[in-house]
Amino acid sequence: MSAAGERGKDSVAPKDAAPGTRRANQAIGALLRFDDTADFDDARRGFIGTHDSGVIRNASGAVLWNLPAYRFLDGPEAPPTVNPSLWRMARLNLNHGLFKAADGVYQVRGFDIANLTIVEGAEGVVLIDPLTTTDTARAALELYYAHRPRRPVSAVIYSHSHTDHYGGVKGVISEEEVRAGGVQVIAPAGFLEAVAGENVLAGNPMARRAQFQFGTLLPPGPRGQVDAGLGKAVARGIVSLIAPTMEIMQDVETHIVDGVEITFQLAPGTEAPAEMHMFLPRHAVLNMAENATRHLHNFCPLRGAVVRDPRQWSHYLSQAMELFGGGSDVLIGQHHWPTWGKERIREFLEKQRDLYKYVHDQTVRLMNHGRKPAEIAEVLELPPELAREWSVRGYYGTISHNAKAVYQRYLSWYDGNPANLNPLPPAETARKTVAYMGGADAALARAREDFAAGEFRWVAQVASQVVFAEPDSRDARELAADAFEQLGYQAESATWRNAYLYGAQELRNGVAQLPPRPMLSPDLMTAVTTATLFDFIAIRLNPASVAGRSFVLNWHLTDTGERLAQTLRHSTLTQVMGKTAASADASIAASRETLVALVLRKITVAQAMQGGKLAVDGDTSLIEALFAMLDDFSMQFDVVTPARDLTAKEKK
C-alpha cells in the first residue's frame, strides 16, 4: 500500500535490537573509556537552578518542550537499542537549567537545542543567541531572572545565521524596543543574506529533511529519539526574527556593548556562512559560537546546506587560539558545556583544530589517489590519539558523510565514472535492478537471509530498491524499515539514528500529516532583503502556468521607499532593484507588509485592492496573473518512497 494509504492505519511499534545490533553495541562499549566522568563534572559545574517541571507550554497550553519525556535516560547503562557512546552523550545533554560560567556570565542550557548566554552589563543584560522559538527563549530568560536581578535586555547578539540562534528573539525583546534605540541587535557580516539562502529559497525541503535529522516526529524513548547530538532536541513554537542594527564587518573588531568589552572574530564559511566568535577580556571568557563543540560537527548536515569549508574552519580555530587563548580562563559555546582552565582550553581547541583539518586533508589525499566518495568514507578513520577523545566523536556529523561533503566541495556530486553521469531516476533504476535480481520475491528472500546474518546496510539498499520498484509492496516496506531500524540502533551519530528510525517510521506508518502552516515565517520574510523576497517569488514560478506570456511590472514599496522593475520573459522572473521601466505594463504601489502577506497567501490581490492596501496603475489582471502562476510548497513530500507522480501541469 502507498504511503498515502497508510496514514489512516494504526501505527506499527518499533522492534527490538537484533542479535547483530546487540553485538555491535557491545563492541563499542568495550572500545571507549566509559569510566572517564570529567564531562559529567563539567556539564554540572556552576549549576544554580532549573525549571520546576521541565515542561514549557505556549499561551494555549500546548507542550513545546518536554524534558520529563527523557527520564528513560536516567540509568548509566545503555539498552541494546542505543549505541552506548550516544547514550552517554544523550545523558550529558539532559543537564538543564541556569549555570554560572564566570562572574557576570551565565548560560541557560537544556531549554532548547542551543544555549542562551547572558552577560551582565552596566545597565542591563546582553543576550547571546535567543534559542529557536519565542516561548522557550522567554522561559530561559525568566529562569535567569528567578535567580539574578531583573534588569532590561540591553543588546542581543546573534553568533551566526542558523535558526536555533535567533528564532526566539521576540520572546526576549520587541521590534518596538529596537526601533526606539533601546536594544542593539548585533550579528556577523552577511547574516541576513545567509539566513535567506538557507531558510527562504531552500527552506521547504530543508525543513522536511530536518524531520529526519532531528527526529522531530519520533517519540522519545530507547527505541526512538534519544538526542540530537548538539542538544536534546529542537524546541517547537513560533520562530521569529528581528533584523540586526549592527553588523561586525572587519575580521576582528572590538566594541563596548552595555559597558562590556567584546572582541568579535569573524569566521565566515565555517559552521555557518555568517558566524563569529567573541572574547570577553574582563571576564576571561572565550565564546566559540558553534565552531568548537563537544563532537565532530557537520561539513554538510543531513538536512542539506551549502558545503562548509573545514580547512578554513580549522584556520579560524587556530586563529582564535592565537588571539585569545592566553587570556581565556573559560571557553563556552552556544551548545554543550564549558571548559575551564587555560591548559584544558588549549588542548580542547587543538583537538578540534586538528580534527577538521585531518578529515579535510585525508579526504583530499585520497581524492588525489582516485578514490570515490563512498570508498573514502569507508576507509577514512581518525588517528587513535583523536579517536579515543569523547569531544571529537561523531554524535552530529560523521567522518563518513563529512568526507563525502569534502569531495563534493572540490569535485561536485559526480565521481568521474561516466556510468554515474546520467543514470536512470531512482524509481526506474529500482524497477530494472529488481527485475535483474529475479523479481521482488527473489530479492526479498535473499535480503531476509542477509538480515538474519546482520548485513543491515546491504538489506537496507536492496529492500529500498524493491520499495521504489513496487511502492505498494508491504513486505518490502517492512523489511526496509527493519533494516533502517537496526542501523539506527547501532548509530553513534544522533542524526544518523534519527534519520534511520524516522525513515523506518514513515515506511511503516506513512508520511505524517501535519497541521497546515505557512511556507515560511512572516518574521523571516519581513526581515530579509526585498531582493530576496522577489527571488522567493521567482523560484515559485511554474512554467506550465506561464503559457508564453511576458510583461513588466514596476513596484513601489511605499513604507520603505524601494522601487524595482520585475520582468516575466522566457518563463523566468527577474528584477532590477532601484529602477523602474518606462514601458511597464502596470505599476503597483503597496507596503512591504502587504507584499509579504501576498507572498504568504494571507490575502489575495483582490482583497488587498479592496482594502486600499494595493494600488495598480495599468492592467490590473497582470498582478493577479503573477500570483496565480506561483506554486505553493507542501513540506510533507515523499522521501523514503518514490515521489508521487507530477501532475500534467507540472510535467509540461
8 Å CB contact between 164 and 113: yes
The residue out of 488, 509, 530 marking a domain boundary is 509
Q: What percent of the chain has pLDDT over 70?
A: 97
Mean pLDDT of 591-618: 94
Q: How confident is the model at residue 200 (pLDDT cuts 50, 70, 90)?
A: confident
pLDDT of residue 8: 42
pLDDT of residue 1: 30
Lowest mean pLDDT among 70-74, 112-116, 627-631, 647-651: 647-651
Q: Which CATH number goes with the domain that contains 68?
A: 3.60.15.30
Q: How confident is the model at residue 79 (pLDDT cuts 50, 70, 90)?
A: very high
Domain range spanning residue 596? 522-628
Mean pLDDT of 602-622: 94
- The count of residues in the chain is 652
Residue 213, in any domain of the structure: yes
Q: What tens digit of pLDDT does each residue of 81-109 get?
A: 999 999 999 999 999 999 999 999 999 99
Residue 29, in any domain of the structure: no
Across the beta sheet with 614-618, what order do the strands follow? Answer: 572-577, 563-569, 551-557, 586-590, 614-618
Average pLDDT, the chain: 94
Specify whether 213 is located in the same domain as 256: yes
Q: What percent of the chain has pLDDT over 90?
A: 89
pLDDT of residue 209: 94
Specify whether 110 is located in the same domain as 221: yes
Q: How confident is the model at residue 645 (pLDDT cuts 50, 70, 90)?
A: low
Specify whether 383 is located in the same domain as 432: no
Specify whether 175 is located in the same domain as 102: yes
Specify whether 345 is located in the same domain as 205: yes
pLDDT of residue 622: 95
pLDDT at 498 over 80: yes
Specify whether 527 is located in the same domain as 447: no
Q: What is the spatial distance between Cα 297 and Cα 437, in angstroms, rounded to a whole number? A: 39
Q: What is the spatial distance between Cα 187 and Cα 273, in angstroms, rounded to a whole number? A: 12
Q: How confident is the model at residue 499 (pLDDT cuts 50, 70, 90)?
A: very high
Q: Which CATH number goes with the domain that contains 494?
A: 1.25.40.880
Q: How confident is the model at residue 519 (pLDDT cuts 50, 70, 90)?
A: low
Q: What tens digit of pLDDT does each residue of 8-42 get?
A: 457 889 999 999 999 999 999 888 999 999 999 99
Mean pLDDT of 363-377: 96
Question: How many domains does the chain fold into?
Answer: 3
Query: What are the DSSP calls for 521-577, one per residue?
Result: -HHHHHHS-HHHHHHHHHHTB-GGGTTT--EEEEEEETTT--EEEEEEETTEEEEEE
Specify whether 495 is located in the same domain as 526: no
pLDDT of residue 11: 81
pLDDT at 647 over 60: no
pLDDT at 5 over 50: no
Q: Which residues pair with residue 246 across a beta bridge?
A: 186
Specify whether 285 is located in the same domain as 433: no
Q: What tens digit of pLDDT does each residue of 47-69 get?
A: 999 999 999 999 999 999 999 99
Residue 139's φ and ψ, nearest 5 degrees, are -65, -40
Residue 247, in any domain of the structure: yes
Specify whether 535 is located in the same domain as 484: no
pLDDT at 648 over 70: no
**Cα dihedral 191/194/195/201 (nearest 10):** 150
8 Å CB contact between 340 and 375: no
For β-strands 285-287 and 276-280, DSSP reports them as: antiparallel
Residue 641, in any domain of the structure: no
Q: Which CATH number goes with the domain that contains 595?
A: 3.30.1050.10
Specify whether 526 is located in the same domain as 505: no
pLDDT of residue 651: 39
Q: Nearest-5° angle of CA 99, CA 72, CA 7?
A: 115
Q: What is the spatial distance between Cα 129 and Cα 70, in angstroms, rounded to a whole number? A: 24
Residue 39, in any domain of the structure: no
pLDDT of residue 457: 98
Mean pLDDT of 572-586: 95
Residue 249, in any domain of the structure: yes
Mean pLDDT of 192-198: 86
Distances 411 to 300, 371, 408, 647 between C-alpha atoms, Å: 15, 12, 5, 35
Residue 164, in any domain of the structure: yes
Query: What are the DSSP calls for 186-219, one per residue?
Result: EEETTHHHHHHIIIIITHHHHHHHHHHHH-TTSP
Residue 506's φ and ψ, nearest 5 degrees, are -70, -40
Specify whether 166 is located in the same domain as 240: yes
Residue 516, in any domain of the structure: no
8 Å CB contact between 270 and 341: no
Specify whether 203 is located in the same domain as 289: yes
pLDDT of residue 3: 38
pLDDT of residue 644: 74
Q: What tens digit of pLDDT does each residue of 425-449 get?
A: 999 999 999 999 999 999 999 999 9
